[in-house]
């Protein structure tokens, strides 16, 4: 994969965490996340989003489960720490200061 592609993936993962950080109960369904990602310049198919959510779950940054055929992601404490820049995880972009 190219360096640019890696940067896009890392940024998209950070955006997912930050969207969940702002969501009620720190959770959201995949369809809403997909729509919101598009507003941040990350128009992706559902397959790509679900792959990202599974990867984030493997890193213990989100909990991800299927409920009635809809994917639901919930931010973990570790995910909140990464979204806020309090800790880092390779593969997730670190947020800029004050953002």
pTM: 0.95
Task: Return mean pLDDT, the chain.
Answer: 95
Asked whether 30 and 46 are in contact (CB, 8 A), the reply is yes
For 41, other C-beta atoms within 10 Å of its C-beta total 10
Q: What domains, with CATH codes, occur in the chain? A: 3-83 (1.10.10.10)
Average pLDDT over residues 22-42: 96
Strand partners, 58: none
- How far is it, in rounded angstroms, from Cα 34 to Cα 60? 20
Give 50 or 98, the one with higher predicted confidence: 50
Q: Are 23 and 64 in contact (CB under 8 A)?
A: no
What average pLDDT does the segment 49-55 reach?
A: 97
């Amino acid at each position: 994969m190219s360096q640019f592609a890696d940067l896009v993936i890392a940024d998209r993962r950070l955006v997912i965490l930050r969207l969940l950080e702002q969501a009620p109960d720190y959770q959201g369904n995949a369809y809403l996340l997909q729509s919101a990602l598009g507003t941040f310049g990350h128009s992706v198919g559902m397959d790509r989003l679900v792959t990202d959510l599974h990867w984030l779950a493997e890193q213990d940054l989100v909990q991800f489960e299927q409920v009635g055929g809809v994917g639901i992601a919930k931010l973990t404490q570790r995910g909140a720490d990464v979204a806020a820049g309090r800790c880092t995880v390779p593969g997730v972009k670190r947020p800029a200061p004050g953002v």
